[in-house]
Amino acid sequence: MAPTSLEGLTLGKYRVLEPLGRGGMAQVYRAYHPQLDRYVAVKVLRSDLIEEGEFLARFQREARAIAGLRHPNIVQVFDFDVQDDIYFMVMELLEGDTLKAYMNTYRTRGDRIPIPDMVRILTDVLDGLAFAHSEGITHRDIKPANIMLTRRCQAVITDFGIAQILGATHYTISGALMGTLHYMAPEQGLEGHGDSRSDIYSLGIVFFEMLTGHPPFEADTPLAILMKHLNDPLPLPHSIDPTIPEPLERVLLKALSKRPDDRYQNAEEMATALRNAAAEAQITIPEHISLPISFAAGEPVTGPGAVYSGTAREQIAGASFAADDTDSSLGDRLKAGLASLGNNQAPDQNDPPIPGAVGLRSSHQDPAPLATLLSSWWNLLPPAARAGIAGGLTLLGFNIWAVMFSSATKGFVIYKFGWPVELFLVGIILCLMMAALNLVWLMIPAGLVLGNAVIFSYFSLTGRWGDWLFMWPLEPLLLVASLALTFSVYNQGTLKNEYIRKLTRLFCLGSTVGVFLIVAASILKGFLIVK
Question: Which amino acids are annotated catalytic?
Answer: 141
74-94: string of b/e by CB count within 10 Å (b at 16+)? Answer: bbbbbbbbbeeebbbbbbbbb
Q: Phi first, then psi: what are they for 99, rounded to 5°?
A: -60, -35
Q: In sequence order, what are the beta bridge partners of 157?
A: 74, 147
Contact 179, 185 (CB under 8 A): no
Q: Residue 172 — φ and ψ, nearest 5°?
A: -135, 170
CB of 22 closer than 8 Å to CB of 28:
yes
User: How many whole angstroms separate alpha carbon 271 and alpha carbon 251?
Assistant: 10
| Amino acid at position 412, single letter | F
Calpha distance 435→199 (Å, rounded): 25
Q: What is the DSSP string of 311-363?
A: GGGGGSTTTTTT----BTTHHHHHHHHHHHHHTT-PPPTTSPPPTT---PPPT
d(CA 11, CA 79): 11
Amino acid at 234: L
Rounded CA separation 393/383 (Å) = 15
Quickly list DSSP for 336-347: HHHHHHHTT-PP
How far is the C-alpha of 31 from the C-alpha of 172, rounded, in Å? Answer: 35
Handedness of CA 381, 384, 389, 394 (dihedral sign): positive
Q: Which of 154, 137, 4, 149 is nearest to 62 (CA)?
A: 137
